[in-house]
Chains A and B, each alone.
Chain A
Amino acid sequence: EPEVTQTPSHQVTQMGQEVILRCVPISNHLYFYWYRQILGQKVEFLVSFYNNEISEKSEIFDDQFSVERPDGSNFTLKIRSTKLEDSAMYFCASSDPAHWGYGYTFGSGTRLTVV
């Protein structure tokens, strides 16, 4: 079964540092997403990406966040200057609009800890 792969699985960073979270979506999927989940809280939408541009973003996705698809396989989330409250699990997901009824495929996540 195809998977969404995320690296690293864990990242610890100092407040104010930049981090890049990486994802390899399923190869024939066209839509890509980032979600996050703060410990003990709901899974929250951050951003969706299609055709090399952002389709939609949430209020959480402010100027400190950016996404990029630098090549044909990777999809990255960058946080420019991390804050303590950015500590969370970050999940990448992808979907194929031609397969309605199969949902979105999520990766296993990157646990980001900001100290």
Chain B
Amino acid sequence: LAKTTQPISMDSYEGQEVNITCSHNNIATNDYITWYQQFPSQGPRFIIQGYKTKVTNEVASLFIPADRKSSTLSLPRVSLSDTAVYYCLVGDMLSNFGNEKLTFGTGTRLTIIP
């Protein structure tokens, strides 16, 4: 699976839009991209998943350019409660979905400033 690279940390002010970019230069044709959020002492929480172009749900948007070598998680108008670690993961669609281990990196520690 492709290695992912994210910024170690980011700060943003409340009310701002936050974009976290993940690099996955060696992404394969069958790979998809998933983002998770983790608060201290809690389990990771699924945010969004996509393969190409743009995906939007009620909490975030995921932008994936045509070459798919990077992806950007966009959080609109963040609040203090968005302070967390955000993980970008790459998975293989051709694996038996549900039987695939998730490989977490160190993630991006996002701190929201009042």
Contacts and interface: CB of A to CB of B under 8 A. Distances in A.
A104 B97 contact: no
B46 A105 contact: yes
Nearest to A41: B106
A91 B43 contact: yes
Contact of A96 (B44, B47, B98): B98
A13 interface: no
Contacts of B103: 45
Chain B contact residues: helix, strand, loop or mixed: loop
A69 to B, nearest CB: 15
A68 interface: no
B101 A93 contact: no
Interface in B72-114: 87, 96-106
B4 interface: no
Interface residues of A, number: 32
Interface residues of B, number: 23
Contacts of A35: 43, 102
A66 B103 CA distance: 21
A42 B105 contact: yes
Contacts of B46: 102-105
Nearest to A100: B97
27 contacts: A4-B43, A30-B98, A31-B99, A35-B43, A35-B102, A42-B104, A42-B105, A43-B87, A44-B104, A45-B102, A48-B101, A56-B99, A56-B101, A58-B101, A89-B41, A91-B44, A93-B43, A95-B97, A95-B98, A100-B97, A101-B49, A102-B49, A107-B43, A108-B43, A109-B41, A109-B43, A111-B41
Interface of B: 34, 36, 38, 41-47, 49, 87, 96-106
